């Protein structure tokens, strides 16, 4: 399903920092959503945590930089990095080109699978995006 031309796959969970999570058997793949990469712009640099490192949900774990924005990588779940997408280190534009495929960021072992219950389902994430878009348009109209 699309929201303002931004695809939201049905088989993923989402957070309000615009990350997606695909979990299976105690592991998860994490990436930046289509909406998130669209708002961020062309990604020029990624700093991803190394394999073997652990982090807590929402903890500063790296950076994402575009021509108009520098932000922190804030994973939506607690875990240990099993693999980072090393192809993005040389060509971070993969996140923009294929955010739900080749543009994934991390594969992690989940420390607490129950954290997935706190993430948004696709319908709730679409609703959240629609609210963000409305706010953006209202702010632009007020200028």
- Banded pLDDT at 136 (limits 50, 70, 90): confident
Encode pLDDT of 87-123 as tens digits.
998 999 999 999 999 999 999 999 999 999 999 999 9
Model pLDDT, residue 78: 98
Mean pLDDT on 57-69: 92
Model pLDDT, residue 1: 42
Structure tokens at 55: 């982090």
pLDDT of 4 over the 90 cut: no
Mean pLDDT on 132-142: 89
- Residues whose CB is less than 8 angstroms from the CB of residue 39 and which lie 6 or more positions away in sequence, other chains included: 18
Number of neighbours of residue 84 by Cβ within 10 angstroms: 22
Cα–Cα distance, 46 to 63 (Å, whole number): 6
Share of the chain above pLDDT 70, in %: 97
pLDDT of 55 over the 50 cut: yes
Can you list the domains of the chain with their CATH numbers? 2-137 (2.40.50.100)
CB 31 within 8 A of CB 12: no
Cα–Cα distance list, 75 to 2, 4, 130, 142 (Å): 24, 25, 22, 33
Cα–Cα distance, 73 to 77 (Å, whole number): 12
pLDDT of 3 over the 80 cut: no
pLDDT of 24 over the 60 cut: yes
Number of neighbours of residue 67 by Cβ within 10 angstroms: 9
């Amino acid at each position: 399903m699309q929201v303002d031309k931004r695809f939201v796959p049905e088989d993923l969970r989402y957070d309000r920092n615009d990350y997606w999570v695909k979990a299976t058997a105690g592991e998860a793949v994490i990436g930046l959503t289509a909406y998130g990469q669209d708002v961020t712009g062309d990604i020029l640099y990624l700093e991803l945590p190394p394999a073997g490192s652990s982090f807590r949900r929402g903890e500063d774990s790296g950076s994402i930089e575009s021509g108009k924005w520098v932000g922190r990588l804030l994973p939506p779940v607690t875990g240990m990095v099993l693999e980072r997408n090393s192809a993005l280190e040389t060509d971070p534009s993969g996140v923009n080109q294929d955010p739900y495929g080749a543009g994934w960021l991390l594969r992690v072992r989940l420390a607490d699978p129950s954290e997935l219950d706190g993430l948004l389902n696709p319908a709730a994430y679409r609703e959240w995006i629609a609210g963000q878009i409305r706010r953006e348009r209202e702010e632009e109209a007020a200028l």
